[in-house]
Structure formats: C-alpha cells, structure tokens
A and B are shown apart, each in its own frame.
Chain A
Amino acid sequence: MKGAPHTGEAMLPDGHLVEPQAGDYEHAKAAPTDPHWYKRAVFYEVLVRAFHDHDGNGAGDLAGLTRKLDYLEWLGIDCLWLPPFYASPLRDGGYDISDFRAVLPEFGTVEDFVVLLDEAHKRGIRVITDLVMNHTSDQHPWFQESRRDPEGPYGDFYVWNDKDTGYPDARVIFVDTETSNWTYDPVRRQFYWHRFFSHQPDLNYDNFEVGEAMLDVLRFWLDLGIDGFRLDAVPYLFEEEGTNCENLPRTHEFLKRCRKVIDDEYPGRVLLAEANQWPADVVEYFGDPAAGGDEAHMAFHFPLMPRIFMAVRRESRFPISEILAQTPPIPSGAQWGIFLRNHDELTLEMVTDEERDYMYSEYVKDPRMRANIGIRRRLAPLLDNDRNQLELFTALLLSLPGSPVLYYGDEIGMGDNIWLGDRDSVRTPMQWTPDRNAGFSSCDPGRIYLPVIMDPVYGYQAVNVEAQSTSSQSLLNWTRRMIQVRHQHSAFGLGDFSELSSSNPSVLAYRRSHVSNHDAGDDLVICVNNLSRFPQPVELDLGEHAGGVPVELTGGVHFPPIGELPYLLTLPGHGFYWFQIVPPNTGREP
C-alpha cells in the first residue's frame, strides 16, 4: 500500500496505529433526502472489476464505473450495490479485508471512490457497499499487531485462547476447507477463533473497543458520502459458551448500536443485513417492530428466489404462495431485498426440517433445479434464453414485495462461461459494444481479467448494450420500460401485498396496494402471472373493487370494468399483466 494512505502507515506512542481519516479527503455531495428511498429503489449489483476498465490494464475500476453512470441512470437504477472494493489479499473475493480504509489499488483510490459517489449523487443514484464486520483478513494490521503484541492496544482485538476446545456447539461452516473453528498461531502461540476461513480471524466484539473501531470505519465511509452498507455475516459477531454462537442477543444489541449511529449522525443512509436464514428468523434483524425497526433497514429474502424458479418449472404457484404465506410481517420501516441472481447461495442448513424435506424432494433430486440455486449460472442461460420467461421472471422480480436487485448484465441477457468455474462464470466483462473486448477495455485481449463471452448466442457481438439500446424490441429497452412503470407506482415499493385467490394452480395473482396520507397518492396495482408455458384462463375475485376499471400499465389499455362476478382473464403462455385499478370514469381520455 505504499504511496496511498493506509492503516498502519505510522504508529502513535501508545501503540495505536494511525488510520486514514475522512477529513483527509474531499466529500461527495449528499444524495437528496428521502427517508424511505430504499423501499422504492431498484438496486443494481455491479462488480467493479467487471464493469468498465478505464485505465486499460485489463480489469474494471472505479473510474470506469463512474464513466458508465449515464447508462445506469438511463436504465432507471436508483442504487448501486458494490461488493467489497477494500484493500485485500483477495483470498475470499475481497471479503477478506486487510484495510477498511483503503481501496484495492487495482480498482483505484479513495479519491476515485469519492468521485464515483459524487457523480452518482448528481444523477440521483445512491451507492452502498459490503462491509464485513465479523472478521478481517489475517493480513490486516490489527491482526498483525494482535499476534505480535498481546499486551498492546490490539492484543484483545481477536478471540485468542490457549486451547482449541471453546464453543464446541458452533458448527464449522466451510466444512470443505476447514476442520475446526480454531487455528494455532505460531507467533502468539495461541489459538484464534474463525467462523469462516482460517485466514479470516474473527474480531472480538466482547472488547468494547472493537465495536468502537468498527463504528469508526462506518463513519469514515459515511463521512465521505456513502449511502449505506450491506453488513456481511452479521449472525456471527458474538460468541458465548453453551450456544451455537449465532444470532445471540448481544449481536442484536451491537446492530442497534450501529443503527443509532446512522439515525443520529447520518439519517437517510441504510443498513442491509446479510443473514442467510429463513424469513421468520431474518425478521429479528429488523429489530423492534414497535420502533418501526431499530436494527437493519433491509435484509435479503433468500428463499424466494429458488421458489420462483421452482414455481415456473412446476407450472404451479404454490412454491411462491407458500413462502410468502410463511413470511412474517416486517416493521414499518423495514424492507426486503429480492433478487433472481446474486453471488450468494441458498443453502440447506438455513431451513427448518420440514422445509429441508420439501426442498430436498422438490429440488435437490432434480439436477436442473440444483443449478438454479447455485451461483454458477446467469438468468438467460438458466431460462434457455427464452424471452417470454425472461420477461416473466423480471416482472415477478419487479412486482413481488421487496426492493428488486438486478445483477449486472442480466438486463441485456448476458450469458455465462461455465468453464471458468463456480464463481467466475458469472463475473465476465460487461458487454458494451460489438468491438474488441466488448468495449469493456482497450487492453490487449490477452490481459483481460476474464475472457469476454464469445459464443454465438450470448457472445458480445450478439448481446451488447449498444445494439440493444437502439432496438426498441430489445430486452434492455423492455427492462428499462418496466423499471419506469415500477417507478410510476408507489404500490410496488411501498404497498401491502396480498395474494388473490384463483382456482387455477398455474396462475399467481396478487394485489399491491398503497394507501398514502393524502388521497391522491393512493395506488392499487394487480399483478397476474401465468407460470405455465400454455395459455391459461383465470377467474379472479375482485368483488372488493367492483365498479373499478383495470388499466394495463405498459400500454394504458382500459379493460372491461369489474362487476359482481369473478373477473375473467386469459393469459398467453408465461404471460403476465400489471393493472392499475382506477375508479369508474377516471383516467379516461376526455
């Protein structure tokens, strides 16, 4: 990290490391205030390395991403989610952070990040990033000091013990690579605790100072103008003998401490908890419902994604209906994050016994379904590049309860390269143009961090932003239009969800309804989805809205008014409708 400010560039007389301060940098202008922006927002997960290479060294960088903000604004994205871009030895995809206050040199500098933030805010786009609070890389100066000087200021920053027998009830998570949660350090001659890889020692949150140090890390980035964090691996922060060391009350207390910093010092910024668990358990991470939620603002709804794939494959709405029926209500200030693809995987450990049986019988025995849960494939190849299904899935993502998270490249139907192995197959360069390196980089093709996709169906010559943005029929323009429609209706982001009953098992219909304080803001949307490849009729009981007129949202066509009898619709295979229900004699041309 020579030449750039970094943690440990100097040491104070009391042994504390000197760390970069936010005041050393310019700050980005803040995004416009809107306390519930995250409920309306469309998120976009983008890998800095994969998006655009500005300096021509073969890997994407922050400056490259900044130059593509116009595209993201045009697409209608409200918030970028960047996986970690901190200094790291990259033994765990950047989740092994060796300096919380420095940027991985390959991606640029803290200054580059501030420019990105500033430019994004100018376009109304917010930026959040991952922060791993549970552990650091073993290369982090805190750990190096901790092992070197047990009596120094960092001596108690990690969980050290003379024996490797503590906390026997905590399972080993990465059973493929780790045999124990304790590893011996020959320097300090003690064992240290790690819930994940042995090169990622857990921070010791029993030490109040560790919590303070982490809050200062939050403040560092918040002062620069960042809009929030996805807090990685939160269930594991604390350890306690006699427990499985997950979801402990003190972990929740610490999250409340984090939330208080946000509410008091940085209102409008958000915390998104990563707790890969069942919705009924995840809601704990939203905190106290009476307070509208006082821990994380958002959390991912993990089981929904595989259920969507299962439902369309089975041509049955029940996989989705069931999981939504099992999803408890959340505090008024909270919001789910939902996704079709992301780099996290649903695992069977997270589910109840009954659910495991269900998942096992419906899922694990079917190799095609198994591929769906994994992180190996992109959306388009999973759906055989079938445009109808791509549209149906995207429509579900944009209309089910929660804020949608798109994965970069899925908006143009990019493919994957399964020869690159598990993680990298879906991390290939974004395809901008039909030119060399897909317009991603000007480097020599041999130097690119991963080869661009070149097959005839998904290759950059066939699938790229430039071609699709000029074709009105393209998936990109279709997706953009749907995002626009979503933005026009508060019901999608803020509304209640209730499923509408129908006797057709292949049709999933629901109502999103938002009642605002002022009458004009009320919004009622009905979504009807045919999960079958065959045309289907459906009779919906819309009696409650008798007299109302359904207006289709993409074309504005008025459908026949709702009467006393069930409302009959027919849908083409994998078709869907979004309707707004307007009172009679309104919304019509004069």
Chain B
Amino acid sequence: MISATDLLADIADALAAVLPEQRWFAGKGRPVHGVIPVRATDLAGAEPRLVHAVVEVDQGEQHRDRYQFLLGVRSDLPDILGHAWVAACGDQAVYQAIHDPELTAVLLDLMAQGTTVEGLRFAVEPGVTLDTEQRSRPVGAEQSNTSLVYGQTYILKLFRKVAAGRSPDLELHRALASLGCKHIAAPLGSIEGALESVPVTYGMLTEYLRNAADGWAMATASVRDLLAANLLVEGAPGPVEQADPADVGGDFASEAHRLGQAVATVHTDLATALGSAPAPAGYLDAVADDMHRRLDGVLAQVPELSPHEDALRAAFDAVRGLEGPVPVQRVHGDLHLGQVLRSVTGWVLIDFEGEPMVPLATRVAPTSTLRDVAGMLRSFDYAANYLPLGDDDPEQRAAVALAWTTRNQDAFCDGYAQAAPDPRKHAVLLHAFELDKAVYEVGYEHSNRPLWLPIPLAAITRLTTTSP
C-alpha cells in the first residue's frame, strides 16, 4: 500500500485543481501556483482508507496559507460519493472524506478513545462520554470551515485554514464551559496537533443545538412582519400612520432584550475566566489609529464616503482623549446576528474565531467589549434594511427600518445592562466602534454587493449627525 505521504504528493496537483471550487477556500480570485504537501497521516483502514492531510497553497510570496483535508481512498467509489471525487491514485479513487459517514465516524471513535496518531491528538473534554454510533453529514450552510453534524447530537467543526496557534474558538469555548456558561454550545472534544512545534487546532466538537434558528432569520422574520403591516397602511385612503414596531405581532424586542443579557453574560464570564484589566497606555490611540487606517483604505476606493470624512475622523479622534479607565478583555470579536442561535433554552453565541482575515495575535488581544456590542448594533440595522420590500416609497421604508432598529437596539442594550455595565454609558467609544464597523461595511459592499452600499452609508450619515 502506498504511504500516506506518497499518496498526498501524488494528488497534490489534483488538489490544486479542486481548491478554487471549495466554498471555504479563502484565496479565491488569486491564481494557485501549486499545492505543497506538509504532512499526511493515516487514520484508518485500508478499504476505505482515511488520510488526514495538511497542504500549503502557493499563491505568491504574500499568500502561502495552509489548509486541512480529509481524504478518503476506495478502490470502488459508490455513486453517491461521486461528487466528492478528487483524483485517481493508481487504481484507487481519492475523494473528500467529509461526505463519507463511514469514514467520519472514525473521527468520533478516535476522540472517544483519546488516541494520538503521529502527533494528531484526538480527545474529549473532561468528563465527556461520546455516543460513537452517530452518523454525520456536512452542514449545508455557506461556511468558511467545514462542519459535520453527527446525528442530531454533535457538530464537529474542521478548521480549514490551519493557523499557527491554538484556535480562539476552542480556547474561549473551554473557558466559558469551565464556568458553566449557558450561552454557548458545550465543547465536547477536539483534534489538535503541532506544526513546526507551534500548536494548531484542527477540529472542535460541540453539542449540536438541534432545534435552533439563527438570530438573522429571527430578526428578518420580525422585520418582514412589520413591513407587511406598513404595506397595509400605505395603500389605505386617508392619513397614513406608520405602524409602531411595538404594536405588531412580530415584535422582536423581548428577544433582543434576552439576547443582550446573553451577550453581557458571556462577556462577564470571559472576564472572570480569562481576566479583565484597565487598558494599557496607548490602547485608545492604537484603536483610533487603526480606525483612521481603515478609513484611509476605504476612502481610496469609495468616493461616496468622502463627504463623511471629517465627521468620521472627528469621531475617531474623540476616542483618544477619553477619561477614566477603559477595561479590556477577551471578546467574541465578530459578533452579529448570524453568530447567535436561538435554541429552546435561550440564546447561544457561536464561532469565537474572531474577526476574519485578521492575524491571530490581533484576534486574541484583549480589547473593549464595546466592539462586540457595536457589531450587534450594526447587525440590527442591517436586518432592518435588508429585505427589498416596500421600496415604492424609500422614505417610508427607511422610517420603518429606523423604528425597528431603534427599538431593538435599545432593547438589546437594556438587556445587556442587566448583566453588565450599560454600554451606552461609554457613548463616545461605542459610537466610534459602530462607525468603524460601518466604514468596513462600506468597503465590503462596494466590492461585493454594491446594491447594499446605501445601508452603511445611511448609517454613517445618521450616526455622525446625532452626537453621542
């Protein structure tokens, strides 16, 4: 039998070919010059065989990222796995094993047994016993990693891009679980290892919240209901009175309130578990510098932003002179309505990886919790404006959206204030984080979804004309 290392070397070119089609591939748009094997390990059997592989993708000097693959090898690939085919190796078929429940079951077994294979450490969290009978399927969602759902019980997130250093997702889940935090999916197991003596995280197994819906779906259902109520009044003869979001059936405020409480509880628990301290000297300047830098970049691309430049810079500079201690701690880092799940027991935060595309050292640096709060506040604004309904009268549409946003942002902050200090007490910093986020959104929408550009632009107009 050909060794795992040779097998990987054999199919490296084929991997280069399939890479650009993978949802999770972060280097889309840049040519792939080659795929260099980093390591390959046999995890199971001969027929079918399971190989764990790490490769480095060469996309030029600046862009050499590492990715993880699970490869299946069979002499006879069944039709239903045809779509997972990668390459032929001798008379055998090599395919992506995440689609093969027979092979993914091995991962659960290895975790349950606590096995280490050539430096790959499979383990369960303390006190956990796994039911290894569960079969997996990949989640359907658009994702930057690959998650497998076992039965309706566990979800295994395989980190695609292999970063040097332990994943904050795993680290923060463990920290929160140690305090019994109710607002996360309980961590159950992990796959870890090391590359060039630096720890890396390959996978994290958590409890699967079987009947959850994400915050975005919940919030947009509420907005849809409000818009429909307004479409009714719009057509009515006589004076038009805008429907109050508090009066319509789909009101989201009490959910937003509970969500605020959940986020604040997670913040408090993170501070308890991993510490909180007054910001070191220079923190606020660094924050402001960072915001200016981002603004410079976006201004260069998006002319529509220039009328706001002065106001934005003033808001960012206001941060520099803030009096009094600003506490910093570990935070979620990329919080929005798509990162929270409503389960039958309440709100749960997922995906503690932090801001995408940012180096690990920055992602794990302590910062203000207001960053997360600002992310959530911006997300409410997006949810309110996202649905292309009621566009006949853009002014009315905007007014309805604003009413919804204001009500739910307030409810979120009220809820937050029940479990941690009220974020609105630090209006200048919160405001600057919101604007910074909106500037980022302007850049993103400009290059990806120009139709949505008006959402962050309108928010910037609004936020810079109402002083904190």
Contacts and interface: CB of A to CB of B under 8 A. Distances in A.
Instruction: Identify the 8 closest CB pairs spanning chains A and B, nearest first.
Output: A505-B213, A313-B249, A361-B254, A501-B211, A325-B344, A501-B210, A321-B344, A505-B218
B221 A316 contact: yes
B152 A541 contact: yes
B335 to A, nearest CB: 19
A506 B140 contact: no
B251 interface: yes
A111 to B, nearest CB: 51
Tell me the dominant secondary structure on chain B's binding face. mixed
A505 B344 contact: no
B357 interface: no
A503 to B, nearest CB: 6
A587 interface: no
Interface of A: 312-316, 318, 321-322, 325, 358, 361-362, 366, 368, 499, 501-506, 532-534, 539, 541, 543, 564, 566
A499 B211 CA distance: 8
A322 B344 contact: yes
B34 interface: no
B397 interface: no
Q: Most A CB atoms within 10 A — which of B228, B249, B251? A: B249
15 contacts: A314-B250, A314-B251, A315-B224, A315-B249, A318-B213, A322-B345, A361-B257, A501-B211, A502-B211, A505-B213, A532-B221, A532-B224, A539-B140, A543-B137, A564-B137
Given A315-B221, A358-B254, A539-B140, 15 more contacts: A315-B249, A316-B250, A318-B344, A321-B211, A321-B344, A322-B344, A325-B344, A368-B249, A502-B211, A503-B212, A504-B217, A505-B213, A505-B342, A533-B228, A534-B228
Nearest to A499: B211
A325 B152 contact: no
Contacts, number: 64
Contact of B225 (A315, A366, A566): A315
A318 B221 contact: no
Interface string B437-459: 00000000000000000000000
B254 A506 contact: no
A504 B213 contact: yes
Interface string B62-97: 000000000000000000100000000000000000
B214 interface: yes
Contacts of B254: 358, 361-362
A368 B248 CA distance: 10
Interface of B: 80, 137, 140, 152, 210-214, 217-218, 221-222, 224-225, 228, 247, 249-251, 254, 257, 342, 344-345
A373 to B, nearest CB: 15
Contacts of A312: 249
A325 B344 CA distance: 7
Contacts of B210: 501
B245 to A, nearest CB: 12
A503 B80 contact: no
Contacts of A532: 221, 224-225
A401 to B, nearest CB: 15
Contacts of B140: 539, 566
A161 B429 CA distance: 68
A539 B141 CA distance: 12
B228 A503 contact: no
A170 B212 CA distance: 41
Q: Most B CB atoms within 10 A — which of A358, A506, A539? A: A506
Contacts of A504: 213, 217
Nearest to B415: A361
B253 to A, nearest CB: 8
Contacts of A314: 222, 249-251
Contacts of A316: 218, 221, 250
Contacts of B152: 501, 541
Contacts of A366: 247, 251
A268 B210 CA distance: 39
B257 A503 contact: no
Contacts of A505: 213, 217-218, 221, 342
A533 B250 CA distance: 11
A366 B252 CA distance: 13
Contacts of A361: 254, 257
A406 to B, nearest CB: 25
Contacts of A368: 249
A338 to B, nearest CB: 19
Contacts of A541: 152
Nearest to A531: B221
Contacts of A534: 224, 228
A321 B211 CA distance: 9
A504 to B, nearest CB: 7
Nearest to A363: B254
Nearest to B215: A505
Q: Most A CB atoms within 10 A — which of B210, B213, B247, B250? A: B213
A570 to B, nearest CB: 16
Contacts of B250: 313-316
A366 B254 CA distance: 12
Nearest to A536: B221
A503 B152 CA distance: 13
Contacts of A502: 211, 213
A564 B100 CA distance: 12
A312 B221 CA distance: 12
Nearest to A310: B249
Contacts of B137: 543, 564
A361 B225 CA distance: 19
A319 to B, nearest CB: 10
A502 B344 CA distance: 12
A163 to B, nearest CB: 45
Given A316-B221, A504-B217, A564 B249 contact: no
A473 B224 CA distance: 31
A568 to B, nearest CB: 11
A511 to B, nearest CB: 12
B80 A564 contact: yes
A362 B342 CA distance: 16
B358 to A, nearest CB: 28
Contacts of A539: 140
B4 to A, nearest CB: 29
Contacts of B344: 318, 321-322, 325
A315 B217 CA distance: 11
Nearest to B248: A313
B213 A503 contact: yes
A506 B214 contact: no
A276 to B, nearest CB: 24
Contacts of B222: 314-315
Nearest to B252: A314
A358 B345 CA distance: 12
B342 A503 contact: no
Contact of A503 (B217, B224, B249, B345): B217
A316 B253 CA distance: 13
Contacts of A501: 152, 210-212
Nearest to B101: A564
A317 to B, nearest CB: 8
A539 B149 CA distance: 15
Nearest to B149: A541
B214 A503 contact: yes
Contacts of A564: 80, 137
Nearest to A320: B344
A199 to B, nearest CB: 41
Contacts of A313: 249-250
Nearest to A360: B254
Nearest to A309: B249
A499 B152 CA distance: 12
A312 B213 CA distance: 16
Contacts of A322: 344-345
A318 B342 contact: yes
Contacts of B218: 316, 505
Contacts of B80: 564
A123 to B, nearest CB: 41
A534 to B, nearest CB: 6
